Structure 1
Amino acid sequence: MPQSAQPNTQQAALWNDASGKAWVEMQPILDGVLAPFESLVVDAGYPGEGGNVLDIGCGAGATTLAMARRVGNDGRCVGLDISQPLVTLAAERARVEEVANASFEVGDAQAYAFESGRFDAVVSRFGVMFFDDPVAAFTNIRQAARRDGKLAFVAWRSPVENGFLTTAARAAAPFLPPASVPDPDAPGQFAFADGAKVKRILEASGWSSIKVERVDVPCRIAEGDLMAYVTRLGPVGAALREVDQATAEKITAVLPAAFAPFVEGGEAGFNAACWLATARA
């Protein structure tokens, strides 16, 4: 796909408006759900004490802060995200938590003017599936890494393997207009569902020593937070912001029963079926 002068304009619009604001509001819940991935990504991408690390699609900064603590005061972790609301929150968290070696910048990793060879490692927790042109993006990201620098990220596998993540959309579907068949190559949550595709993207963008490994991570969310989670985020969250009140009430009424199979002992539990991709610049 030819790269436009301003790529990822749709994603920028989403994450600087409704989606970004929803993630800001839901930050404590999201960090709790995704906490198991912090150590996974930090361990895989850790460049050693004093290392300089870039976190792509850093969101509200949880992984950036975790890596900054891991590399120590002589190291640094820079979080980059397309969403100004999320970067603002992340920077405030670094200030409050006194993580002085974490910093945050607003930018699109596909087109950002990185300093060549600046980083010893590049990491991401579910932040790399949204590029219009992933080969162009990972080529640009590679320029930011020093020679033999690390790359480590997690991305979702297929919707079929992630039933929890698609339950809300299936439950809401009878009350919404028919959805078009998703384009597997379009930017989005499941854009990297095909592990072979992920490897091809990294090969085409010049990375080496590529590994794309299946990981299955148990995640949990308090039952009291579950409905907020499924009605504020994702495609159902977006739909509920657009539909009339009667339709919204019908959708929210069916969601508790749809998620009942996941709930036990005051918590909802699910398996996060992902890829852990690692490579070298």
Structure 2
Amino acid sequence: METIVNRHQAEAWNGYEGRHWAAHQDRYDGVNSGFNDALLAAVRPGDRVLDVGCGNGQLTRLAAARAGTGHAVGVDLSAPMLDRARASAVDEGVANVEFVRGDVQVYPFPAAAFDVALSRFGVMFFADPVAAFGNVGRALRPGGRLAFVCLDDIRHGDLGRVLAALAGHLPPPGTDGTAVAEPLSLADPAAIRSVLTAAGYTGVDCAPVAASQLWGRDAADAAGFLADWGPLRHQLDRVDPATADRARAALTDALRAYEQPDAVRLRGTAWLVTAHRPG
């Protein structure tokens, strides 16, 4: 019997949000894959790898390939994204990989079963982050490694400047009573160190990283994709059609500054966090 304690996120990632990410796997990988190499540096040949909040599973499959004789397990709440991850593993011929649905906070991982745990923007949404990271820590062998990327202050990257163009058209996020803090829950290194220390990790390090993020073929294409992204779609749905059209036009105009001959690319920033399980 499945146990899910993070009901809010389970509903989102098994609803519109998860379906959109699964349907646009290549586009979301284009946004986030620039951070892969920083995470894969933590994987060694023969490693048993756990990918936390694996989503469509690109990082999991790459980690499995890097581990060679080892293997990788991806865990996520989203059934639509896990279906996509499994299909991609078959298409790519990656055999040493497995995908499981579960809530990381309470999932019964075998004790000391992994050498390294990774996550690409999948750890900011825990209902109880200390409990979740503690559960991951118990799944690591003594001396096992943790490496993840999480959002920093969104104003540090180009996306923050693009989204600022919407301020005059859309209501501020969170004014409808919905939770909006989760993606930025680990944006402060002090919060990261506090959570991981309480969860039993040592050697916590937070390093700034940046990557080029591919958002679309041109400004109009990138704006259309962004407007369908769950959080922004929710905001657009809160206003009348004419206001929503003006917001989309403002978004397109803001993205024109980032058009290159072949694509729209934004500079994304994040924290690369590493730590160890004692032992």
- For the criterion TM > 0.5, the same-fold answer is yes
**Quick one: which of 75, 79, 85 aligns to 2:80?**
85
Gaps of 5+ in 2: none
**Quick one: which of 10, 14, 17 aligns to 2:15?**
17
* Cα distance in structure 1, aligned partners of 2:127 and 2:121: 16
271 and 26 in structure 1: CA distance in 2 versus 1, 3 angstrom threshold: same
* Cα distance in structure 2, aligned partners of 1:215 and 1:178: 28
Structure 1 residue 132, shift from structure 2 partner: 1.5
Maintained 8 Å contact 1:132/1:187: no
* Cα distance in structure 2, aligned partners of 1:204 and 1:120: 21
* Cα distance in structure 2, aligned partners of 1:235 and 1:118: 36
178 and 153 in structure 1: CA distance in 2 versus 1, 3 angstrom threshold: closer
Secondary structure (helix, strand or coil) at the match of 2:156 reads coil
Amino acid at match of 1:114: F
Matching of residue 267 in structure 1 with residue 263 in structure 2: yes
Maintained 8 Å contact 1:69/1:99: yes
* Cα distance in structure 2, aligned partners of 1:177 and 1:217: 29
* Cα distance in structure 2, aligned partners of 1:156 and 1:182: 23
1:237 maps to what in 2?
Answer: 233
Matching of residue 38 in structure 1 with residue 33 in structure 2: no
* Cα distance in structure 1, aligned partners of 2:173 and 2:120: 28
Matching of residue 154 in structure 1 with residue 152 in structure 2: no
1:219 maps to what in 2?
Answer: 213
Maintained 8 Å contact 2:125/2:185: yes
* Cα distance in structure 2, aligned partners of 1:64 and 1:167: 30
Paired residues, what number? 272
After alignment, is 217-226 or 204-213 more displaced?
217-226
Superposition CA RMSD, Å: 2.3
166 and 9 in structure 1: CA distance in 2 versus 1, 3 angstrom threshold: farther
93 and 211 in structure 1: CA distance in 2 versus 1, 3 angstrom threshold: same
Give the TM-score, by structure 1 length. Answer: 0.89
Gaps of 5+ in 1: none
Superposition map of 1:188-227 within 5 A: 188-224=182-218, 225-227=221-223
| Percent of paired sites with the same residue | 35
Q: Deviations over 1:50-72 (max 9, x none)?
A: 21100001010100000010011
Q: Deviations over 1:116-145 (max 9, x none)?
A: 111111000000000121111101110111
* Cα distance in structure 1, aligned partners of 2:175 and 2:188: 17
Amino acid at match of 2:195: I
Give the TM-score, by structure 2 length. Answer: 0.90
Matching of residue 121 in structure 1 with residue 119 in structure 2: no
